Structure 1
Amino acid sequence: MSEERETVMLAAFSGWNDACQAATNAIHQLIDAYDAREVQHISCEGYYDYQVSRPTLCRVNGHARIVWPQTTFYDIPLSPTKHCLVMLAPEPNYRWREYCRESLHIAEELGVNRIITLGSMFADCVHTRPLPIGVCDDMDCNSECDCGEYNGPVGITTILEAMARDHSFAGTSIWVSVPQYMGNDDCPMGTLALLNTLERKLGTTFETAGLAKETQEWQAKASMLVRCSNQLEDYVHHLEEDWDKAKQAKDEASAEDPRKADQLVHEAEEFLKRF
């Protein structure tokens, strides 16, 4: 009897949920690395404000073509028993509930079992330490995830996750924090952190050697930028010390009593949020 095929939908949206394009670049990495095939689209009409998500002009073989913002679904065969349905789009401006219903209908048609959303956000973190990753499953939020305590504005990923739960999909949200002092240029380190976490969730391995090299180059550029400003250098050094102290507290607590580790880290994070 053959093993039942698992189909996971990965979703990432450019815009508010995608600092430094880390989340959408993770999706592009997978599309480029595998034999990805377009299988579905959601029309842009009624979902986008074209003064925000503008259509673009492309010239192919001398012919001009208008490309409108749209949602595209790709099928990516990770293995004979595991497929990914990849959803890539700009964050829509209008009718989010209808948009999510249409997205989930496509997921149902294509046999999706689980939905994983990817996101990235600016935060007080540094390029010289591992970037913070938050992972939240339907039934189990890890200690680095603040979703159970957060109150405030949300993006389309949160709406999609909530409606997916209502439709009985299993769901996971993965977010990476990226250094805000690096501006909005691409952050390969954030993209790599998302893919490494996704590997563990899917039980697979991606080809990330090229991305790892880009990360090293990006870190070298960041270090050069920091050295050019005494104020920025002091700021980064302060964040490094905070990170090192939190890690030391966690390591010491784990050695004494593993159950205390997560609580101490949470208390340290809450303390640091006051600064």
Structure 2
Amino acid sequence: MDALGRRIIVAAFDGWNDAGEAASAAASMLRADVEYDVVHSVDPELYFDYQYTRPQIGLDAEGRRTLTWPEAKLLRPTQRSDDAEIWLLVGVEPARAWQAFAAEFIDVALREDVTGFVALGSMMSDVPHTRPISVFAGSDNEGVRQSLGLERSLYEGPVGILSAIGHASEQVGIPTASLWASVPHYVAGHTPSPKATLALLERLESITGITVPRGDLEAESRQWEASIDAAAADDDEMSDYIRQLEQTRDTWDSPEASGDAIAQEFERYLRRGGGSDGPTKPGRDDPPRR
């Protein structure tokens, strides 16, 4: 568990990297039982497009109108520990100047002797809600892959801010890993997705060795799945589609799955028109980003 060291930044951003709000909810769970101080926050004027990510107006405790601006900040535990620490990098994905944005946080990470970086993300995928949520666990760092049994991504295509920060981290010698949960794409009306959040936290715990709070996620996951079951029960087309996804997932997961089966799935994907994201083997391929 030492591949990422004892002071690990876990990053999750609202936006493109956060299907079903699974990653941002995971970060919120990490904050639930621990007090954090702000180490660094960015100037929103430099990185956010307010027409895309608008400020929010509300009332404070005394009834006065307040504006809350988009933000991104690095948090560290208030109570320092000699054991492994989880620091949090959270906020909204920036609209511009990504290299400068990443550099701000990398500079702070180096100053604070951060030893590892883990990106949490979630993506919409062709997977059934009735099966365990797949989490791709990968790293571009050979030492991390060997130590933690992670995979190397061969994905090529568009990326989000998590990849930009992760790439910058590796360039300055901070080892990285990424965890991506596959959220069923047909459950858009059932957000957030606690089952995906739970899967991310369980995988994070396995690669860091740090106990992660679960809260009510297990019960919420069962309720989430039951609500989708109920919706599918009244929709024959949806039920048929879910059964097809279940068969595909079970084929991928079976010991008998062969290269021929994978090739056939890829051919079916091409016949459907293809795209930059490619066929997704649950829990195996790097996240396709749309």
TM-score by length of 1: 0.87
Partner SS, residue 45 of structure 1: helix
Query: Is 2:174 the counterpart of 1:169?
Result: yes
Provide closer, same or farther for how the CA distance between residues 143 and 123 of structure 1 changes in structure 2, counting only shifts above 3 A: farther
Deviations 1:90-149 (A, max 9, x none): 11000000100001011112221001111000000111101121111221399996721x
Provide closer, same or farther for how the CA distance between residues 123 and 202 of structure 1 changes in structure 2, counting only shifts above 3 A: same
Q: Is the 8 A contact 1:113 1:169 kept in 2?
A: yes
Describe how 1:176-195 pairs up with structure 2 within 5 A.
Answer: 176-183=181-188, 185-195=191-201
Partner of residue 105, structure 1 = 107
Provide closer, same or farther for how the CA distance between residues 122 and 78 of structure 1 changes in structure 2, counting only shifts above 3 A: farther
Distance 1:79 1:236 in 2: 46
Structure 2: runs of 5+ lacking an equivalent: 270-290
Partner of residue 272, structure 1 = 265
Q: Is the 8 A contact 1:78 1:84 kept in 2?
A: no
In the TM superposition, residue 161 of structure 1 has moved relative to its aligned partner by: 1.1
Describe how 1:216-227 pairs up with structure 2 within 5 A.
Answer: 216-227=222-233
The one-letter code matched in structure 1 to 2:173 is S
Give runs of ≥4 in structure 1 deviating > 4 Å. 141-146, 264-270
In the TM superposition, residue 270 of structure 1 has moved relative to its aligned partner by: 5.2
The one-letter code matched in structure 1 to 2:21 is Q
The one-letter code matched in structure 2 to 1:272 is E
In the TM superposition, residue 60 of structure 1 has moved relative to its aligned partner by: 1.0
Partner SS, residue 243 of structure 1: helix
Q: Is the 8 A contact 2:29 2:213 kept in 1?
A: no
Partner of residue 44, structure 2 = 44
Partner of residue 74, structure 2 = 73
Distance 2:208 2:137 in 1: 13
Deviations 1:58-83 (A, max 9, x none): 21120111111111222136954111
Query: Is 2:56 the counterpart of 1:56?
Result: yes
The one-letter code matched in structure 2 to 1:102 is E
Query: Is 2:210 the counterpart of 1:204?
Result: yes
Specify which of 113, 133, 136 is matched with residue 134 of structure 1.
Answer: 136
Provide closer, same or farther for how the CA distance between residues 270 and 183 of structure 1 changes in structure 2, counting only shifts above 3 A: farther
The one-letter code matched in structure 2 to 1:192 is L
Q: Which has the higher strand share?
A: 1
In the TM superposition, residue 24 of structure 1 has moved relative to its aligned partner by: 0.8
Distance 1:146 1:240 in 2: 26
Query: Is 2:10 the counterpart of 1:10?
Result: yes
Report how many aligned residue pairs link the two structures: 257
Partner of residue 228, structure 1 = 234
TM-score by length of 2: 0.82
User: What is the percent sequence identity of the aligned residues?
Assistant: 28
In the TM superposition, residue 7 of structure 1 has moved relative to its aligned partner by: 0.5
Distance 2:185 2:12 in 1: 20
Distance 2:149 2:231 in 1: 32
In the TM superposition, residue 28 of structure 1 has moved relative to its aligned partner by: 0.6
Partner of residue 260, structure 1 = none
- Using CA pairs under 8 Å that are at least 6 residues apart, name the structure with larger relative contact order, 1 or 2: 2
Distance 1:205 1:270 in 2: 40
Distance 1:98 1:87 in 2: 15
Provide closer, same or farther for how the CA distance between residues 243 and 180 of structure 1 changes in structure 2, counting only shifts above 3 A: same
CA RMSD of aligned residues (A): 2.2
Which moves more between the two structures, 211-220 or 101-110? 101-110
Distance 1:238 1:144 in 2: 29
The one-letter code matched in structure 2 to 1:45 is E
Partner SS, residue 44 of structure 2: coil
Provide closer, same or farther for how the CA distance between residues 143 and 127 of structure 1 changes in structure 2, counting only shifts above 3 A: farther
In the TM superposition, residue 246 of structure 1 has moved relative to its aligned partner by: 2.3
Which moves more between the two structures, 136-145 or 203-212? 136-145
Structure 1: runs of 5+ lacking an equivalent: 253-263
In the TM superposition, residue 244 of structure 1 has moved relative to its aligned partner by: 1.7
Q: Is the 8 A contact 2:48 2:94 kept in 1?
A: yes
Provide closer, same or farther for how the CA distance between residues 68 and 230 of structure 1 changes in structure 2, counting only shifts above 3 A: same
Partner of residue 115, structure 1 = 117
Distance 1:78 1:145 in 2: 32
Which moves more between the two structures, 36-45 or 105-114? 36-45
